[in-house]
Structure 1
């Protein structure tokens, strides 16, 4: 099979999600110890912006093929686009050492072809990635990961929290939440819901937010800083945007390929291209999740927002545009 034919075939399989067929093709190359074609197969995933899958392929031949220049450049690109720029820098430099001057195949016409340009990009973003990772690691290490009980919200936090127009009430607001509702959601999703979330849902079972902005703790001139949250999902499964509704947490993980780290709790104004999650990855399904932002358009980059759901709700505020609109 010619290389162009292989890329076309694999790309078609990726679009149709025929991953078993892809595995069989790659397995055949591995059995033949044809690492050149295994490496080349990853390019189809890079072209389709499926960097996680590309890394899985390349990791499987890393020991045998890491001195190959083509491997190094593909591995570097997959790492770079997986928000691992600090690791990518090492592999871009190694690719250059192996004689790579330009990248023949790129997954975007906006990407440079010159290896030197890629090294410049990685050198710019690598220290920023290291700083952000260190900052968020420290936040995770010091936060309370045990369930926080007997939570209540201040009246000033609840004041003006929700929208109450006809659309909001119809699409987001569920019937009064019960213990049975919480238990059903917990069974279906496999996570203990935070007591702070339950306390808020007993006051109002989901809704569109009027206080729809949150200021992230990591503030640098090259970060967005502020994050929007359009709605909070409730536990009335008859509502499409509830946790177990048509557009609930499983939908975003299974259909939109968000990382399976917890519960998609808030939608944003992007219509699914970024989401707010309860993140149980450092506390387990019975622990107290932190709150994170996940950018689907940015390689599913995860940004730490708050130690827990209560702190997240307490930190929500109304945008200036909405305040001017009210005036």
Structure 2
């Protein structure tokens, strides 16, 4: 009875119902098969981290099941670990799977061969990207805090001081005390280069709003649009501790807790620019990364520090040439 209901919900795309029904069962009634079905629903809800954790809970007892292997591979693939997913798709295929209806919808792969084709194409690309960025992180991890002097920086056509920017982004010149309060709330030391910049112009929309991807490959995005920089004026809708500030993007949109959302793109929240403290800790000098929400929160390294990020921003006409 439950199996038929779960299948009906799966076909109807009611994946939340599947998760709730399985979670409501007593622990002794949650078989490995049901837990594996819960992982399928979580994958279909784009909750791939949760799906992977769910599958890990039965890995020692169920990893030979081809459906387990398929779902484990899908979770890895969607978490931008395509190189790791290959072996699991192969195991699922060796277990007899080929034609599948794992992810309802017209655009999802309906065969294991197609999943393998995608994984084998993207796996080497992922390994190259990871190695490239690991090298850059290693090089910048030992740098001292970046230059915070903007006296020789050309701000011509840098900011877009339109009415909307003044209302939603640009704040009053902050005091050291106000900046310190924001740092305390965020739990991170903000880069000196950032603090110097917001004393000149406390956030705002950008006219110089493009950044070239350091990894130039025909299969990688050539660059990224950066719509604005967040300031520290709490009265502004888009500021680090404002209504749509850094914590909002972590809590409401599920962005990874690696640091501070410092800027937004042009996608209405589907991509963001973060100060990434993963390598340096909360009091260190963070690098700057792009995070693509619709690509499994894929992280792309942009610059070793905030000042290099500011120096690398380009006007639209130069971005068009990349």
On whether the aligned pair clears a TM of 0.5, the verdict is yes
Q: How many correspondences in the alignment?
A: 318
Counterpart selection for 1:210 from 202, 207, 210: 207
> What's the offset of the Cα at 1:62?
1.2
Which residue, out of 206, 215, 218, partners 1:221? 218
Residue of structure 2 equivalent to 1:115? 112
State the 1:181 CA deviation.
1.5
Post-superposition offset of 1:83: 0.8
Give the match for residue 182 of structure 1: 179
Supply the distance in 1 between the matched residues of 2:224 and 2:183 (Cα, whole angstroms): 27
Question: How far off its partner does 1:174 sit?
Answer: 0.1
Matched, 1:303 2:318: no
Structure-2 residue corresponding to 1:129: 126
The answer (yes or no) to whether the contact 1:268–1:275 under 8 Å persists in 2 is yes
User: TM-score, normalised on structure 1?
Assistant: 0.90
Q: Kindly tell me: are residues 303 and 23 of structure 1, through their superposed partners in 2, closer, same or farther at Cα, counting changes over 3 Å?
A: farther
Question: Does residue 167 of structure 1 match 2:171?
Answer: no
Describe the superposition over 1:219-250 as per-residue Cα deviations: whole angstroms up to 9, x where unpaired: 10011121111000000000000000000000
- Label 1:196 to 1:22 Cα distance change in 2 as closer, same or farther (>3 A): farther
Cα displacement (A) at 1:322: 10
Question: What do residues 181-224 of structure 1 show as CA deviations (whole Å, max 9, x unaligned)?
Answer: 11111111110000010010111111111100001211100111
Q: Is residue 5 of structure 2 the alignment partner of residue 5 of structure 1?
A: yes
8 Å CA contact 1:145, 1:289 repeated in 2: no
* Cα 1:144/1:104, change in 2 over 3 Å: closer
Counterpart of 1:283 (choices 280, 283, 307) is 280
How high is the TM-score relative to the length of structure 2?
0.92
- For residue 68 of structure 1, the aligned residue among 59, 62, 65 is 65
* Alignment correspondent of 1:83: 80
Q: Match of 2:261, SS?
A: strand
Name the structure 1 match of 2:228: 231
- Indicate the residue corresponding to 2:254 in structure 1: 257
Q: What CA distance in whole angstroms lies between the structure 2 residues aligned with 1:132 and 1:322?
A: 21
For 1:144, the equivalent position in structure 2 comes to 141
Cα distance between partner residues in 2 of 1:108 and 1:308? 41
**Cα distance 1:98–1:265, how it changes in 2: closer, same or farther (>3 A)?**
same
Paired residue secondary structure (1:202):
helix
User: Displacement, 1:112?
Assistant: 2.0
The gaps in structure 1 that reach 5 residues or longer are: none
- Tell me how far apart the structure 1 counterparts of residues 164 and 158 of structure 2 sit (CA, whole Å): 16
CA separation in 1, counterparts of 2:318 and 2:207? Answer: 11
- C-alpha spacing 1:270/1:33, structure 2 compared with 1 (3 Å): closer
Hey, what's the Cα distance between the residues in 2 that align with 1:22 and 1:288?
46
Instruction: Give the 3-state SS of the residue equivalent to 2:288 in structure 1.
Output: strand
Unaligned runs of at least 5 residues, structure 2: none
CA distance in 2, matches of 1:101, 1:108: 17
Q: Distance in 2 between matches of 1:289 and 1:276?
A: 12
Task: Give distance in 1, aligned partners of 2:291 and 2:127.
Answer: 18
